[in-house]
A and B are shown apart, each in its own frame.
Chain A
Amino acid sequence: MQDHNKRFVERDRNWHPPAYAPGYKTTVARSPQQALVSMQQASTSELTGPDFRHLRMGSHDNDLLLNFRQDPAQGQGLPVGERIIMFGRVVDQFGKPVPHTLVEMWQANAGGRYRHKNDRYLAPLDPNFGGVGRTLTDEQGWYHFRTIKPGPYPWPNDPNSWRPSHIHVSVMGPSISTRLITQMYFEGDPLIPLCPIVHTLKDADAVETMIGRLDMARSKPMDCLAYRFDLVVRGELQTYFENQ
């Protein structure tokens, strides 16, 4: 099988957050106590994954300013908040672009309220904001969204825990081995160092991989600011001498 000539760089599980991170209380009952079982040799099952080039997307699937408008015919109904472009490149650990891969995102509105029935935070919903986007990277691995900068919100962890502004980001990459869900935080947000979920990471450099950077060059004067968020997925290698 051709796929058996591939392998992905091992995931560094000391770089990623551990399953059990008691400062983030929900992990206490949701973390395995047993060791993960290492496959040793990945098979076609792990080395392959879905390709979404034939998924039919709507024209505004990556534009959260327009994809939940209540009354687009009137030219009205834009969401309230800081208009931003969120963009970046998906590359692997060797810097190789990952083209045509699915990038999805979801977020709260400008007030920190999610369009989800379990979110009962008193900040109101925005009738013109849904908070969901998806797109495919282009030939060079670039993706773009247009959205509203989400607000921080309180959550019942410590008596006064607040999430920093963040956008949840999901990327598939070339196989289920590269599958990754993370969160993009915003450069300079003083809530980042206070957050128990950010603190699940032990390494400050790992936190840096989750920070979207203000990019004035990509902003649109008199229209919107831009934040750049590059994603790095596991590197893909060929295994030339397997079983020889």
Chain B
Amino acid sequence: MLRETASQTAGPYVHIGLALAAAGNPTRDEEIWNEMAKPEAEGEHIEVVGTVIDGNGDLVRDAFLEAWQADANGAYQPEYDLKKPFNSFGRTATTFDHGSEWSLKTVKPGQVAHPNGQPMAPHINLAIFARGVNVHLQTRLYFEDEADANAECPVLSRIESPTRRQTLIAKREEIDGKVCYRLDIKLQGEGETVFFDF
């Protein structure tokens, strides 16, 4: 069996390659970016926002994130096509501008079944890449207002410490009448986000 190509950090300038607009550079006709749901997409339209924070409590202002989620009906839509109202995949980033927050415009995902047959609570899979991160960090964003589903989720339950489960739960906010969920990702130390191996 061949060995996997080794991972390396995405480095400080990942944005010029994978987040052209965030780098302030000219964009191509079609870019993979953070508008996963167009206004006509089915489901509850939400914005998901957050920061990335390092072990000193400082903002990580050069992170790049990828999101992968089911649609409102709990189905993944692998075929990425900007003509469709919804795409399961999205990208976002933090930069030295815009308050150093990442954001995704999407719809709230439906439930997806775990192979053991139980439903998993609605979640968005997130991968975090940045300077100083040698292998991208994989996590999940869950929703505060899905407490019952979260309590039953076979993946959340795998996290031994109930305190640590809370690091994956995005808080519901309303900004100008729009539903918004916030999840700050802490790379290290107190309140450190749970990261998965799969």
**By the criterion CB–CB under 8 Å, are B5 and A29 in contact?**
no
**By the criterion CB–CB under 8 Å, are A32 and B2 in contact?**
no
**By the criterion CB–CB under 8 Å, are A55 and B135 in contact?**
no
B144 at the binding interface (Cβ < 8 Å):
no
Q: How large is the interface on B (under 10, 10 to 19, 20 to 34, 35 or more residues)?
A: 35 or more
B131 at the binding interface (Cβ < 8 Å):
yes
**By the criterion CB–CB under 8 Å, are A12 and B8 in contact?**
no
**By the criterion CB–CB under 8 Å, are B2 and A232 in contact?**
yes
B179 at the binding interface (Cβ < 8 Å):
no
**By the criterion CB–CB under 8 Å, are B115 and A30 in contact?**
no
Determine the chain A residues whose CB is within 8 A of the CB of B18 once the complex forms: 104, 106, 170
Determine the chain A residues whose CB is within 8 A of the CB of B104 once the complex forms: none
With an 8 Å Cβ cutoff, the count of chain A residues facing the other chain is 89
Across the A-B interface, the 9 shortest Cβ-Cβ residue pairs: A106-B17, A26-B132, A30-B132, A50-B89, A17-B134, A54-B81, A29-B55, A39-B198, A36-B197
Q: Enumerate chain A interface residues (CB-CB to B < 8 A).
A: 1, 4, 9, 11-13, 15-19, 21, 24-34, 36-46, 48-58, 61, 91-95, 104-106, 108, 114-119, 130-132, 168, 170, 176-177, 179-183, 197, 200-201, 205-207, 209-210, 230-235, 242-243
Q: Enumerate chain B interface residues (CB-CB to A < 8 A).
A: 1-18, 20, 23-26, 28-30, 32, 54-56, 58, 60, 62, 66, 68, 70, 76, 78-83, 87-89, 96, 112-116, 120, 123, 125, 127, 129-138, 140, 155, 158-159, 164, 187-189, 192-198
